[in-house]
Structure 1
Amino acid sequence: MIRIGIVDDDKASRESIHQEISDYARLHHLKCELSEYESALKFLDSGDKGFDMLILDIDMPGMSEMELAEKIRETDRDVVIVFCTNLQQFAINGYSVGALGFMVKPVQPYALNLTMDRAINAIKMNQKRNNTDSDTKFVLKDGTISRLVSVSDIDYIEVRQHYLLYNIKDSNTGARIVIKNRGTMQEAVERLSQYGFWRCSSSFLVNIKSVTAVSRVNVFIGNELLPIGRTFKESFMDAFSRYLAKKGWEDPCL
């Protein structure tokens, strides 16, 4: 199932794009779930997450779609973003938020079909990369020993002074080990954020796939509780909700 959101204040434009995508899906035997929103604020207020693709009208009252795209990119690096606009001079700005491209209004079927071809390829690449993340391995120094560690085995990283403490579960024995490396939180973020690691506080970087529960103030990883810092709460909760949505699980009431 491919989830696509259309954000446009022009009802006729939304309905036209919706119909064209539905026709494309039938032709290519794709299962698509389409949702429409009449403004950026309506989209944000809906709380809907887990989209594979978003089509955004760039010329909107209130919060612009560029501002919306920037907010989306704070917590979602994978969703495919396509802009619709009748203002061609503004379309180039879309690439600053990693947009796939843009379509000029009124959107023609041929242009939409080409865009959908590219979008579906990008979505498949995202899915393939996410499915192989667990096979990615790093070498971590553990005293005089160099350990080969799978990304999926790292539950979280804690920073203490000038050291990073990698909290790891042994996939073979189930035992938990801690590997201490010299480094900074920024280095850990740069290394692991692409694999679904998110900061829940200034001291902890968490593998979102290892989270077993959340409350308003804590992240649970098995029996361990990690604090959620005020600065990181919104982005972490949003990332966790999107993870659940993409898995098809119910979004928690946070």
Structure 2
Amino acid sequence: MLRVLAVDDEEPALEELLYLLRADARVGHASGVLEATEALRLLGQAMDCAPESEEGIDVVLLDVGMPGLSGLDVARLLAGFSSPPHIVFVTAHEDFAVQAFELHAVDYLLKPLRKERLAEALRRVTELVERRPPAPAVRHVPSATDTSDRWSAPEDTDTGPPVPSDRVAVELAGSTRFLPIAEITFAEAQGDYARLHTRNGTTHLIRIPLSQLEERWRARGFVRIHRRHLVSLASIDELRLDAGIMTARVGASVLTVSRRNARELRDLLVRQARDGQSTGSRRSGGHVP
């Protein structure tokens, strides 16, 4: 019988979905969570359980539009599992169906959910679970607390090339790309994850807390301006103070600077500007007062 995890940030919708799941004879166990990060924690625990354990998870029913990590983000993370659970999206948004099936979703159900459509999705999952080969003996689970730059390699093996020190590993269309840190303008905290924003406008989600990125990238000119943002000093186009609130413009993004970080940020930018002037004067043979 199926072991199901449902993820939806709206409690009434989650309760209704769990009611329908538990009424289906093919479902042996159904649990639900309101946050994507909690779902990833449970999935990590499930992968460490015995294959037939009740704590195992055969299928995840995901909403798309959730704060922090979206359902699509969770699906991309699950792609790094050695033996991932099946995915069924349950959402009010029609626009993401193509992306969902590119992520190998079994089905894409629209709200308001009909019992018949859910039953059909569960039938498909049941067939896939029955045909699934036994899971490998050694597995590595990307979890919400995993702080490595790699997305999926067993901890006790040395597979794949090392990540260069001036780059960070990101997932892109099912493959791993080494993104130059110099292309990143700022990083945004999303729970135990960070979303990287680049100069060309693309974003990438990685499983590294912002606090760790702050430590790693401090020497590369990144500074914490807020509990949610880590910014490349070289990418700040403008600082503005309005009604006592400081903001930093980074490309098209305007980011709030917390009061505790405002003075340090301003001092760093002034020092950076002075150093640049000093270097330019020395190169031109001028005198710096």
Give TM-score scaled by structure 1 length.
0.49
Bigger CA radius of gyration: 2
Q: Which has the higher helix share?
A: 1
* Higher RCO, Cα 8 Å, sep 6+: 1
Give TM-score scaled by structure 2 length.
0.43
